Amino acid sequence: MIEGYLRRLGIEGRPEATYETLVDLHHRHLDTLPYENLSIMLAAIGARGAPDPVDPAETLERVAVGGNAGYCFHNNGVFSLVLEGLGFDVVRRAGQMLEAAGPSGTLDHLALEVRGLPTADNPGGRWAADVGYGDGFRDPLPLVEGHFRQSGYVYRLARVGESGWTFHHDPHGSFNGSFVRGPVAQEDIEASHLRLSTPLEGGFTTKLVVQRRDASGAETVRSIRHTRTGSDAGTRELREFAEWRDALAGLGLSFAGVEEDALRELHKRQAADYDEWLLTR
């Protein structure tokens, strides 16, 4: 299935486990597989059963045949599985968004550390790789303290204690940042996924979010609001179903196996929720 994933990204054969390969895979994954919660939203409105699971092998199989990945647990899970299969040294790390409402230590992000790839600018060879932020960094970040500029965005990494790190997003980003702790077990990820994807308390069950970070900016459809930061920045409302669907497809979202009636119902509900937000914000 790794070959199917690589073909989806436009790669034939298995590349070597080098820093250059890591950067290339990071770019290609971001270009091809958006951050999204479509399966969660369809389940929330009763248009399908359970959301897509976060088991990396199942995500790999789904992606290899043209399906969606999902949100951070899915994208970084499958990315780490592929990297390991190619010979990279990868550590899955537990994370929490800085603005999360849950208690300290709540798992709501999966981050990745890739080791053993020294460069002139990063002789320690440790890298923060993350294809699950939606509108996060484009290139892997050297896992050292400092500020990093990428295509007009500025990020910061700060050490916390012995093994923790805080990622501070650019002010134009969709979130403040995240705190990353030690290694995480798959069963903890699955438990958090159940919490986040189950109505009514689930944090990912109220608004459709589809995001993609490209070489010059980041693009988001949240509910029916389409926003771009970076080059060609702007915002518009997607009131018509056809333009909403086209915008989602333009971000790389797959509609394989999704009935149009279900999409129309989701758009209708998202438009109503958006109007309510306009009245109460």
Long-range CB contacts for residues 225-228, cutoff 8 Å, separation at least 24? 225/274
Q: What is the pLDDT of residue 274?
A: 96
CB neighbour list of residue 64: distance below 8 Å, 6 or more residues apart: 1, 3, 4, 5, 7, 8
- Which DSSP category does 152 fall into? T
C-alpha angle with apex 79: 94 to 142, nearest 5 degrees?
65
The domains of the chain, with CATH numbers, are 2-280 (3.30.2140.20)
Confidence of residue 101 (pLDDT cuts 50, 70, 90): low
In 3-state terms, what secondary structure has residue 7?
A: helix
Which tokens in the block code for residue 259? Answer: 């009935």
Give tens-digit pLDDT for 35-54.
Answer: 999 999 999 999 999 999 99
Q: How many separate helices (H) and strands (E) can be counted in the chain?
A: 8, 13
Averaged pLDDT for residues 206-221: 97
pLDDT, mean of residues 87-110: 87
- Please give the pLDDT value at position 80: 98
Residue 104 pLDDT > 80: no
Virtual torsion, Cα 183, 81, 52, 180, nearest 10 deg: 30
Q: Which helix (H) or strand (E) holds 81?
A: helix 72-85
Strand order in the sheet with 141-142: 141-142, 127-129, 109-115, 89-97, 177-183, 164-168, 153-160, 146-150
The token duo for 165 is 């790190």
pLDDT on residue 103: 65
Q: State yes or no: pLDDT of 165 exceeds 90.
A: yes
Strands 89-97 and 177-183: antiparallel
* Rounded-to-integer distance, Cα 277 and Cα 181, Å: 34
Query: pLDDT tens-digit profile of 230-270?
Result: 999 999 999 999 999 999 999 999 999 999 999 999 999 99
- Left if phi > 0, otherwise alpha if psi is -120 to 50, otherwise beta: which for 230? left
Predicted confidence (pLDDT) at residue 6 exceeds the cutoff of 70: yes
Q: What are the DSSP E strand ranges found in the chain? A: 35-36, 89-97, 109-115, 127-129, 141-142, 146-150, 153-160, 164-168, 177-183, 209-213, 217-222, 225-230, 234-237
Residue 278 to residue 271: CA distance in whole angstroms: 11
The answer to whether the beta carbons of residues 235 and 225 sit under 8 Å apart is: yes
Which pLDDT band holds residue 200 (cuts at 50, 70, 90)?
Answer: confident
Q: What mean pLDDT is predicted for residues 10-25?
A: 98
